Amino acid sequence: AQSVTQLGSHVSVSEGALVLLRCNYSSSVPPYLFWYVQYPNQGLQLLLKYTTGATLVKGINGFEAEFKKSETSFHLTKPSAHMSDAAEYFCAVSVYFGNEKLTFGTGTRLTIIP
Amino acid sequence: DSGVTQTPKHLITATGQRVTLRCSPRSGDLSVYWYQQSLDQGLQFLIQYYNGEERAKGNILERFSAQQFPDLHSELNLSSLELGDSALYFCASSVEGAGANVLTFGAGSRLTVL
């Protein structure tokens, strides 16, 4: 079974600073990897996903993530944090087409310091 | 608006009671997923339906049940409610199974059991 581990349940960065949210996955077969964001009192929405091909994936709102098979990682980054980035971020994994569930990490709450 | 509609948005009830949460998937999506989000358990996959049939089961209690109707809307029934069932219940939909497909989430139904 696949799983994800998000390192750091809370991360604080200053406005304009680099955002780095860490995610490591475990899967016996090539994974599909996702980052979702949850703003207060809202559902989850997709930031970006990796399926196959280019390992550097660009998403919405200036976020990107790099799939590193050797490190089993899929860390999320953004060069310059904005106040509107404050939210909870979830890394998620699924495998092969037809797999019936998406497994989420425990989430990282990102706080932006003015 | 994600296109996934969940009702009710908020629900307060007492222990021992039964409630029904409703979900209308995004137009064209055949798969419906139910997730439970709580502070101590994070996002837990409960169950998935595809075109009216159950396709995957996660950490769903025996007191909980779900179904997907011919018009593809789904209902999650929670019975003999306990305090620990208080949580945010999300419905998500996708065209097919999770795999590489993106799940679109509703805004959630917040259940409070007193």
Give the helix/strand (H/E) hosting A111: strand A108-113
From chain B, the residues in CB contact with A46 under 8 A are: 102-103
Q: Is B32 on the interface with A (CB under 8 A)?
A: no
Residue A3, SS3? strand
- In DSSP notation, A38-84 reads E-TTS-EEEEEEE-SS-SEEE-GGG-EEEEETTTTEEEEEESS--GG
- In DSSP notation, A9-32 reads SEEEEETTSPEEEEEEEE-SS-EE
What distance in Å separates residue A67's CA from the closest CA in chain B?
15
Task: Provide the token pair at B90.
Answer: 């999300």
Place of tokens 């799940």: B103
Looking at residue B98, its pLDDT comes to 76
Residue A35 CA to residue A88 CA, distance in Å, equals: 11
Nearest CB to B48: which of A101, A106, A107? A101
Interface test with A, best of B50, B88, B103 (most A CBs within 10 A): B103
Residue B85 CA to residue A89 CA, distance in Å, equals: 23
Looking at residue A97, its pLDDT comes to 62
Q: Is B25 on the interface with A (CB under 8 A)?
A: no
From chain B, the residues in CB contact with A102 under 8 A are: 33, 45, 98, 103
Looking at residue A99, its pLDDT comes to 66
CA distances in angstroms from A93 to A26, A111, B2, listed in the order given: 9, 24, 21
From chain A, the residues in CB contact with B42 under 8 A are: 104-107
Structure confidence by residue, pLDDT tens digits, A58-100: 999 999 999 999 999 999 999 999 999 999 999 999 887 656 7
Asked if B90 and A90 come within 8 Å (Cβ–Cβ), the reply is no
The average pLDDT across B16-33 equals 96
Task: Provide the token pair at A50.
Answer: 């990796």
Higher per-residue confidence, A20 vs B100? A20
The average pLDDT across B20-27 equals 97
CA distances in angstroms from B28 to B25, B71, B90, listed in the order given: 8, 11, 19
Least confident residue range of A22-26, A94-98, B98-102: A94-98
From chain A, the residues in CB contact with B58 under 8 A are: 101
Looking at residue B12, its pLDDT comes to 97
Asked if B99 and A101 come within 8 Å (Cβ–Cβ), the reply is no
Task: Provide the token pair at B103.
Answer: 């799940």
Nearest CB to B98: which of A36, A90, A101? A101
Nearest CB to A43: which of B45, B98, B108? B108
Asked if B100 and A98 come within 8 Å (Cβ–Cβ), the reply is no
- In DSSP notation, chain B reads --S-EEE-SEEEE-TT--EEEEEEPPTT--EEEEEEEETTTEEEEEEEEETTEEEEE-S--TTEEEEE-TTS-EEEEE-S--GGG-EEEEEEEESS-STTPPPEE---EEEEE-
